[in-house]
Amino acid sequence: MSYSLDLFFEPAAPRRRVLEHFAARKYFKIDGDKVTYEHPDTEVYFFMRLRCARNVLLQRMVAAAEFEINYSRPSFFGLEAERELSALVAAFQPRIDDPQMHGMGEGPYSGRGFLDGWNFGNVFSTRTVVSRLADFGMASMSGEALRAAWAWNYQYPARCDEFERSAFVPAIFFHRIEGRPSRVVVWPRGMSIMLPRVDYVLLGRVIEGEKRYGMAPWPEVEHVVRRCGFDMTKDPLDLRYFRTPEPIVDWIVNKPLVDTKALERLPAYTILDDELLAAARESLDD
């Protein structure tokens, strides 16, 4: 199931201008009249289909576009899609038709209206899946934790540019650890790092020319970092130094190694908000 929104360009917009809009923004791919958005760091994706015609000068014009995004996805899917929809609406001022329950109807478009409609449909779609699968086992974690990881990964390229010369910036990944979905980052060789608050940190070191990793839960990371005198109130933790502090060196060197190949990687789009699942299950009892 998916959310669908029709946008009508009145007057029709030159196809060239519409494609230039997408080309100027990141993560869009254009294949004929199909436009795909896919963010490699957040794993958010959605689609648009352009409906084109020719004017009296035989120029290709975009008369309408259909926006589509899947349901049964974490809440941050809607947040990221809304940013791109708002940018498109601001650029071309299309008329909209949102037929979803609790949708915007025939407009006007608003970010809040889109999120209300998509979030309602997301619960309804998830309810349908839960009702059909007695052993429904979709991974989940708190919406707050998911959105924090999304916000970090959304800004990941900009952070890499900002700290390129002074600190390593890790992306946040999701793994199933001890049966639970967890946020995980890599900290290579104890180097200077901007360290977001996560559930586990993979501590990298090189042994006989091979990259190996130990794994530490966040409370243990906090304990070691606090011993080194860093400000623990910051998020991310700003761990920049010219020489790796001895407590960090000793900790990493003596940390038992784990087989990272045995860790189950979870795609971000497969992890739902706890609140979304709770709302879907609650609606089954109504």
- Asked, for residue 283, whether it belongs to a domain, the answer is no
**125 and 16 co-located in one domain:** yes
Model pLDDT, residue 135:
54
**98 and 180 co-located in one domain:** no
Model pLDDT, residue 107:
77
**186 and 110 co-located in one domain:** no
**125 and 35 co-located in one domain:** yes
By the 8 A CB rule, do 41 and 99 touch? no
Collapsing DSSP states into helix, strand and coil, what is residue 34? strand
- Asked, for residue 284, whether it belongs to a domain, the answer is no
Model pLDDT, residue 284:
73
- Asked, for residue 65, whether it belongs to a domain, the answer is yes
**39 and 122 co-located in one domain:** yes
No. of H helices and E strands in the chain?
8, 16
Model pLDDT, residue 114:
95
Measured in whole angstroms, the distance separating CA 11 from the mean position of its chain's CA atoms is: 34
- Asked, for residue 229, whether it belongs to a domain, the answer is yes
By the 8 A CB rule, do 123 and 101 touch? no
Cα 118 to Cα 124: distance, rounded to the nearest angstrom? 10
- Asked, for residue 147, whether it belongs to a domain, the answer is yes
**43 and 100 co-located in one domain:** yes
Residues of the chain with pLDDT under 70: 55-58, 133-137, 285-286
- Asked, for residue 14, whether it belongs to a domain, the answer is yes
Model pLDDT, residue 54:
73
Cα 64 to Cα 4: distance, rounded to the nearest angstrom? 13
Cα 138 to Cα 145: distance, rounded to the nearest angstrom? 16
**72 and 151 co-located in one domain:** no
**125 and 147 co-located in one domain:** no
Domain boundary among 94, 113, 132: 132
Model pLDDT, residue 69:
97
- What is the extent of the structural domain holding 177? 143-265
Cα 284 to Cα 273: distance, rounded to the nearest angstrom? 17
Nearest Cα residue to 234 out of 165, 141, 167: 167
Q: Which two tokens stand for residue 194?
A: 């901007």
> Which residues in 198-215 are b (16+ Cβ under 10 Å) and which e?
bbbbbbbbeeeeeebbbb
What does pTM read for this prediction? 0.91
- Asked, for residue 177, whether it belongs to a domain, the answer is yes
